[in-house]
């Protein structure tokens, strides 16, 4: 028997590497903005601009998706697998459609603009007004398989 806390799937939605380079570029821009006040001000501007932007990039890459033996954890949401239906793998245009014009305002959506693939999981609990969960993921098939297998073993 599997323990309820055993992880069947774990993914951290990290920000792309280029975003860290952009954070340094923002720091350089801040240094140039305050450079007329002297080199010490430019150094402070560089440090402040880089640190603040790096904190924002880090926050964008702190989301996690986990599947345990009995629940789906997506950031702060904890959904029992018994309340979930079939998982649908979304790629390309279909993923974009569910992020935009097909989206339901009641759905729980964990989207990341830098990830183009996703999984859409129906919520079957009649007491829950949420129709589905939309999760951006780099490995949609692995997430869908983990939900299917963990739900089967629960």
> For the chain, which residues make up each domain, given as ranges?
78-153
The pLDDT tens digits for 9-54 are: 999 988 889 999 999 999 999 999 999 999 999 999 999 999 999 9
pLDDT higher than 90, residue 72: yes
Where is 79: in which H helix or E strand? strand 77-80
Closest CA to 81 of 136, 150, 10, 4: 150
pLDDT higher than 90, residue 6: no
- Which spans in the chain are helix H? 17-34, 39-60, 92-99, 140-153
How high is the pLDDT of residue 154?
55
- pLDDT average, residue stretch 108-115: 89
pTM, two decimals, is 0.79
pLDDT higher than 70, residue 74: yes
How high is the pLDDT of residue 60?
82
């Amino acid at each position: 028997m599997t323990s309820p806390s055993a992880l069947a799937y774990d993914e951290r939605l990290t920000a792309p590497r280029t975003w860290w380079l952009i954070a340094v570029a923002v720091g350089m821009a801040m240094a140039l903005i305050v450079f007329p006040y002297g080199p010490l001000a430019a150094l402070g501007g560089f440090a402040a601009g880089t640190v603040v932007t790096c904190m924002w990039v880090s926050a964008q890459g702190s989301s996690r998706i986990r599947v345990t033996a009995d629940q789906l954890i997506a950031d702060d949401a904890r959904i029992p697998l018994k309340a979930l239906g079939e998982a649908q793998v979304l790629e390309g245009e279909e993923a974009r459609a569910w992020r935009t014009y097909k989206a339901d305002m009641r759905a729980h959506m964990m989207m990341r603009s830098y990830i183009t693939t996703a999984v859409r999981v129906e919520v079957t609990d009649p007491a829950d007004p949420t129709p589905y969960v939309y999760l951006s993921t780099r490995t949609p098939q692995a997430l869908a398989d983990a939900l299917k297998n963990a739900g089967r073993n629960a």
